[in-house]
A and B are shown apart, each in its own frame.
Chain A
């Protein structure tokens, strides 16, 4: 054992000029995480979504992507950080954001303009291009702890046209700016650039309540499936977390009650 150590030190000393610490295991830093505000989801993700990385949340309509993202932003803004929401289809509801607990004064909302589409070519690609440029500017400036690029209403054939180099650039910029970059898409598009890939599904279909005279929509059950998590192999995590989890979201009127 002593001889092995001596040889290792000798080899490292020889290669020190070219490769520092060539044979020493590089300790991976534990990623900084932002809680999603849902205990069961945090348990599945090992604490939350990673900072300085890309998190991709994909799923069809009404599968809870926006609720998930707003819940995460609510936690981040309440820690005092500034956040940004790049809204490709101008679909964010400030009322929903406020109801979830997002501090709107710390939220920069970029709305891809419906009016400007007349000047540009009348294709979603133009809005997407605007959104990508805006995201690029946000990442280059830095200072935003979380940036959500909301492409939920963009068809997969359009998101798939985005060059992979864009996602690589975003990954490096997010790492440099220490921002949690969250993509909301209908189908995964960032491939290996996303450190965390989640798929949203509808879980149990809970019928509208019949307590009153008329039915009332009270809550919705969602399911979150972890497709990929680069931080899973971290030595700081003792056991492998579960791969899917169900969570529920309530309507504003039931929460008020």
Chain B
């Protein structure tokens, strides 16, 4: 493997000068931080010659008669983006070197057919960087660290021939190695100033004095320290996109499903390579009227099968159809770890998650959005207050045993039905409901309830439990009187 390391020296100063070329011929320093703790963050060669060093306070730097400019992170990002784009043109496998800003390592194996030999490639790379206004050193070697040291230690293009890495590094000062300050002091005391001098030391002696750090530094100086390349890859999630433009507008959902099926399968194949599943799919339809129709299908659990996802998309699009014919389709998927369940012979019965999703979508289409789900009691004093929650059967577990007695169930009339009630001495004696006259045999009540009296939606009513008879039938009902509207209602029937 051959590595080319691109290193723009003094990157932050160069990035600052990129937007203001007139600064290049003047000594300047980049400062950062809040007043009064502003400090010098970077300085160009001219400023350093006047004694400005990173870490100095702003006042100290200004006394050296240099131009002071504030650090601009946006400029640095622009410079980094430019560098990234350039190196991507020279190799598909690149690694960003975290220790030194703006430094990239390229795997250039096999690139000679396009860019020529290593020297030609390095020269072209350097020239490309110079076109965007940055100066950079390029080091080429078979060993990653050797290429890096050459880029950091030598200006221009440096190439270490294969097998001569130690010789190429020999003349470089120890400062090109990642030395801790204590070790730099030790080597200075020993009179070791170059990589060749460090490589000449006996490895065992170095380990006995410096430990494992000594071994690593010795291998670095010899150009033999291995490196595992971690190439920069595009975000997996951002790549989960499928687009298709149609030759002619499609207004039939059936025909669109063929396209969606193919695109979903492709997305699933891509997702499966990472052992993941699709958690949601965003469908973007470009319509003939240049409008866009957007729907998101989000199954309760990540899915890995095309038919289920396709069915969910079909049901969703049938429930919310686009307003015009479709000219382009775009699918954006979001991945998640797949759902895994431990089944057992003796576990309670529950529907399969994937099938449940399709079932619920079908039922919603048949009955309506808010007519399918699990009832959930709300914290409200109003009788029969509830909301519809999504149906997600819990993990199988048995609950505690309930009390042995059975509760009388009320069958609710939604909405409550208006009735006529005949009163004698303020007691109901007869009731007319659905054209049937009932005699009130017994009545229990009233139970006066009210709520929300502090808002405009306040409610109050008097409720009665009544036993009614008509001919041979008898029924137990809960009736209510609304004092505001002076109306009687049947709330429900006990059954």
Q: Which residue of A lies closest to B408 (CB)?
A: A249
Q: Shortest Cβ distance from B443 into chain A, in angstroms?
A: 7
| B395-434 interface bits toward A, Cβ cutoff 8 Å, 1 = contact, 0 = none | 0111111111111111111110000000000000000000
The answer to whether A101 has its CB under 8 Å from any CB of chain B is yes
Q: Are B359 and A138 in contact, with the CB atoms below 8 A? A: yes
Given A79-B398, A104-B375, A141-B359, A111 and B409 contact (CB-CB distance below 8 Å): no
Q: Are B408 and A82 in contact, with the CB atoms below 8 A? A: no
Q: Shortest Cβ distance from B295 into chain A, in angstroms?
A: 22
Task: Please choose the segment from B98-106, B123-131, B179-187, B366-374 that sits at the chain A interface, where 4 or more of its residues have CB less than 8 A away.
Answer: B366-374
Q: Are B409 and A104 in contact, with the CB atoms below 8 A? A: no
Q: Shortest Cβ distance from A112 into chain B, in angstroms?
A: 7
Q: Which residue of B lies closest to A77 (CB)?
A: B399
Q: Are A111 and B371 in contact, with the CB atoms below 8 A? A: yes
Could you tell me the distance between the alpha carbons of A238 and B191 in the complex, rounded to whole angstroms? 103
Q: Are B373 and A109 in contact, with the CB atoms below 8 A? A: yes
Q: Are B406 and A107 in contact, with the CB atoms below 8 A? A: no
The answer to whether B36 has its CB under 8 Å from any CB of chain A is no
Q: Are A143 and B493 in contact, with the CB atoms below 8 A? A: no
Given A93-B384, A108-B372, A138-B359, A143 and B377 contact (CB-CB distance below 8 Å): no
The answer to whether A165 has its CB under 8 Å from any CB of chain B is no
Task: Please choose the segment from A16-24, A58-66, A168-176, A191-199 that sits at the chain B interface, where 4 or more of its residues have CB less than 8 A away.
Answer: A58-66
Q: Shortest Cβ distance from A89 into chain B, in angstroms?
A: 8
Q: Are B474 and A205 in contact, with the CB atoms below 8 A? A: yes
Q: Are A208 and B467 in contact, with the CB atoms below 8 A? A: yes
Collect the chain A residues with CB atoms within 8 Å of residue B359's CB.
137-138, 141
Given A74-B402, A93-B384, A215-B442, A108 and B391 contact (CB-CB distance below 8 Å): yes
| A152-168 interface bits toward B, Cβ cutoff 8 Å, 1 = contact, 0 = none | 11000000000000000
Could you tell me the distance between the alpha carbons of A215 and B376 in the complex, rounded to whole angstroms? 32
Q: Are B443 and A215 in contact, with the CB atoms below 8 A? A: yes
The answer to whether A142 has its CB under 8 Å from any CB of chain B is yes
Q: Are A101 and B402 in contact, with the CB atoms below 8 A? A: yes
The answer to whether B84 has its CB under 8 Å from any CB of chain A is no
| B469-484 interface bits toward A, Cβ cutoff 8 Å, 1 = contact, 0 = none | 0000111110000000
Q: Which of these, B350, B398, B415, B495, contacts A62 with CB under 8 Å?
A: B495
Given A71-B406, A251-B407, A105 and B495 contact (CB-CB distance below 8 Å): no
Q: Shortest Cβ distance from B46 into chain A, in angstroms?
A: 72
Q: Are B407 and A78 in contact, with the CB atoms below 8 A? A: no
* Most A C-beta atoms less than 10 A away, residue of B376, B405, B409: B409
Q: Of residues 345 to 396 in B, which have CB atoms within 8 Å of A's CB atoms?
A: 347-352, 355-356, 358-359, 362-363, 366-368, 371-377, 383-384, 386, 388-389, 391-394, 396
Q: Shortest Cβ distance from B411 into chain A, in angstroms?
A: 4
Q: Are A100 and B407 in contact, with the CB atoms below 8 A? A: yes
Q: Which of these, A39, A107, A255, contacts B407 with CB under 8 Å?
A: A255
Q: Are B402 and A92 in contact, with the CB atoms below 8 A? A: no
Q: Which of these, B356, B368, B373, B391, contacts A116 with CB under 8 Å?
A: B368
Q: Shortest Cβ distance from B481 into chain A, in angstroms?
A: 15
Q: Which residue of B lies closest to A39 (CB)?
A: B404
Q: Which of these, B363, B414, B492, contacts A114 with CB under 8 Å?
A: B414
Chain A interface extent, by class: 35 or more
Collect the chain B residues with CB atoms within 8 Å of residue A99's CB.
407
Q: Shortest Cβ distance from A111 into chain B, in angstroms?
A: 4
Q: How many residues of B contact A (CB 8 A)?
A: 66
Q: Shortest Cβ distance from A232 into chain B, in angstroms?
A: 24
Could you tell me the distance between the alpha carbons of A81 and B347 in the complex, rounded to whole angstroms? 9
Q: Which of these, B368, B415, B444, contacts A217 with CB under 8 Å?
A: B444
The answer to whether A47 has its CB under 8 Å from any CB of chain B is no
The answer to whether A110 has its CB under 8 Å from any CB of chain B is yes
Q: Shortest Cβ distance from B334 into chain A, in angstroms?
A: 26
Q: Which of these, B349, B410, B467, contacts A143 with CB under 8 Å?
A: B349
Collect the chain B residues with CB atoms within 8 Å of residue A93's CB.
384, 409-412, 492
The answer to whether A134 has its CB under 8 Å from any CB of chain B is yes
Collect the chain B residues with CB atoms within 8 Å of residue A70's CB.
407, 409
The answer to whether B465 has its CB under 8 Å from any CB of chain A is yes
The answer to whether B445 has its CB under 8 Å from any CB of chain A is yes
Q: Shortest Cβ distance from A51 into chain B, in angstroms?
A: 9
Q: Which of these, B374, B383, B477, contacts A108 with CB under 8 Å?
A: B374
Given A116-B368, A217-B465, A247-B406, A78 and B401 contact (CB-CB distance below 8 Å): yes
Could you tell me the distance between the alpha carbons of A87 and B490 in the complex, rounded to whole angstroms? 19
Given A70-B409, A81-B350, A97 and B375 contact (CB-CB distance below 8 Å): yes
Q: Are B351 and A141 in contact, with the CB atoms below 8 A? A: yes
Q: Are A143 and B351 in contact, with the CB atoms below 8 A? A: yes
Q: Are B474 and A137 in contact, with the CB atoms below 8 A? A: no
Collect the chain A residues with CB atoms within 8 Å of residue B408's CB.
67, 96, 219-220, 249-252
The answer to whether A30 has its CB under 8 Å from any CB of chain B is no
Collect the chain A residues with CB atoms within 8 Å of residue B368's CB.
113, 115-116
Could you tell me the distance between the alpha carbons of A64 and B411 in the complex, rounded to whole angstroms? 11
Q: Which residue of B lies closest to A80 (CB)?
A: B348
Collect the chain B residues with CB atoms within 8 Å of residue A202's CB.
474
Given A62-B495, A98-B377, A143-B355, A110 and B398 contact (CB-CB distance below 8 Å): no
Q: Shortest Cβ distance from B357 into chain A, in angstroms?
A: 10
- Using CB atoms and an 8 Å cutoff, list the residues of chain B in contact with chain A: 347-352, 355-356, 358-359, 362-363, 366-368, 371-377, 383-384, 386, 388-389, 391-394, 396-415, 442-445, 465, 467, 473-477, 492-495
Task: Give 10 CB contacts A-B under 8 Å.
Answer: A37-B404, A60-B475, A62-B493, A62-B494, A67-B408, A92-B375, A106-B374, A113-B367, A113-B368, A134-B367
Q: 13 more A-B contacts (CB under 8 A) besides A78-B401, A116-B367, A141-B356? A: A62-B495, A70-B409, A80-B350, A80-B399, A93-B411, A96-B410, A100-B402, A109-B373, A112-B367, A143-B351, A145-B349, A214-B445, A219-B408
- Using CB atoms and an 8 Å cutoff, list the residues of chain A in contact with chain B: 37-39, 60-67, 70-71, 74-75, 77-82, 89-101, 103-116, 130, 133-134, 137-138, 141-145, 152-153, 178, 202, 205, 207-208, 214-217, 219-220, 247-252, 255
